[in-house]
Amino acid sequence: MIPRLRRDLERVRQLIRVAREKTREKEMIKAVGYRKDGSLIMHVDYVQAQAKLEEAVREINAIIDAIHGEGVQVKDLERGLVDFPAVIHGREVLLCWELGEPSVMYYHDLTAGYIGRKPIPEDWYRE
């Protein structure tokens, strides 16, 4: 699952950049000004930027929905941080993986969050 998550989360990062770029573009277009009738001078450009923004957001949402559909919890899109619910030795935990890590190497308690990440103990792999 990690290779797919890596691909999907890298794509989300690209789409976030596009969304931010299109948001800035829309602001710049509005700054150019309006006609006397109240319409934007660069209306066509604004509509195109809005369409690209909406497309990026739709794709981001589809990727997140697909990840959630696999039972994975997306925690931070910018970092590419996800948690995998697990029960190890009868204990409920969240296995924690961040984009850039080679494998799932950390876990934390259900309420601890990222700051409570600890390396997965070796004996957990022998179960």
Domain ranges of the chain: 2-70, 75-126
Residue 125 pLDDT class (50, 70, 90 cuts): low
The pTM assigned to this predicted structure is 0.86
- Mean pLDDT along residues 92-102: 95
| Residues contacting residue 103 through CB under 8 Å, at least 6 positions apart | 2, 97
- Mean pLDDT along residues 13-22: 98
- DSSP string covering 84-104: EEEEETTEEEEEEEETT-SS-
- What confidence score (pLDDT) does residue 121 get? 87
Averaged pLDDT score across all residues of the chain: 94
- Backbone angle region of 60, left / alpha / beta, with phi > 0 → left and psi within -120 to 50 → alpha: alpha
pLDDT tens track for 79-95: 999 999 999 888 899 99
